[in-house]
Structure 1
Amino acid sequence: MEIERKYLIHQLPKELETFPSRKIQQAYLCVNPVVRIRRQNDDYYLTYKGKGMMVREEYNLPLTKEAYQHLKEKADGLVLSKTRYLLPLPNDLTIELDVFDAPYEGLWLAEVEFPTEDEANAFVPPAWFGEDVTFSSAYHNSTLSSGKKRG
Structure 2
Amino acid sequence: MEIERKFLVHELPENLDKFEKREIVQGYISIDPTIRLRKSNDEYYLTFKSKGHLKREEMEFPLTREQFENLWPKVDSSTIYKTRYNIPLENNLIAELDVYHENLEGLLTVEVEFVSEKDSEKFIPPHWFGKDVTHDSRYKNSNIAVYGIPK
1:73 aligned to 2:73? yes
Query: How much has 1:49 moved relative to structure 2?
Result: 0.2
Aligned ranges 1:2-151 → 2 under 5 Å: 2-151=2-151
1: CA distance between counterparts of 2:29 and 2:87?
A: 30
SS at match of 2:150: coil
* C-alpha distance after superposition, 1:83-106 (max 9, x if no partner): 000100111100000000110111
SS at match of 1:125: coil
Q: Percent identity?
A: 47
The 1:134–1:56 alpha-carbon spacing in structure 2 relative to 1, beyond 3 Å, is same
2: CA distance between counterparts of 1:113 and 1:67?
A: 28
Query: How much has 1:147 moved relative to structure 2?
Result: 3.3
Flag structure 1 segments of 5+ consecutive residues without an equivalent.
none
* C-alpha distance after superposition, 1:63-88 (max 9, x if no partner): 11111112111101111110000100
Query: How much has 1:10 moved relative to structure 2?
Result: 2.8
SS at match of 1:127: coil
Query: How much has 1:109 moved relative to structure 2?
Result: 0.2
2: CA distance between counterparts of 1:69 and 1:78?
A: 16
2: CA distance between counterparts of 1:140 and 1:41?
A: 22
The one-letter code matched in structure 1 to 2:102 is A
Q: What TM-score, normalized to structure 1?
A: 0.97
Query: How much has 1:149 moved relative to structure 2?
Result: 4.7
Q: What TM-score, normalized to structure 2?
A: 0.97
* Larger proportion of helix: 2
Flag structure 2 segments of 5+ consecutive residues without an equivalent.
none
What do you get for the CA RMSD once the two structures are aligned? 0.9
Aligned structure 1 segments of 4 or more residues deviating by more than 3 angstroms: none
State whether residues 26 and 80 of structure 2, in contact with CA within 8 Å, keep that contact through their aligned partners in structure 1. Answer: yes
Query: How much has 1:148 moved relative to structure 2?
Result: 4.1
State whether residues 9 and 109 of structure 2, in contact with CA within 8 Å, keep that contact through their aligned partners in structure 1. Answer: yes
SS at match of 2:147: coil
2: CA distance between counterparts of 1:115 and 1:149?
A: 29
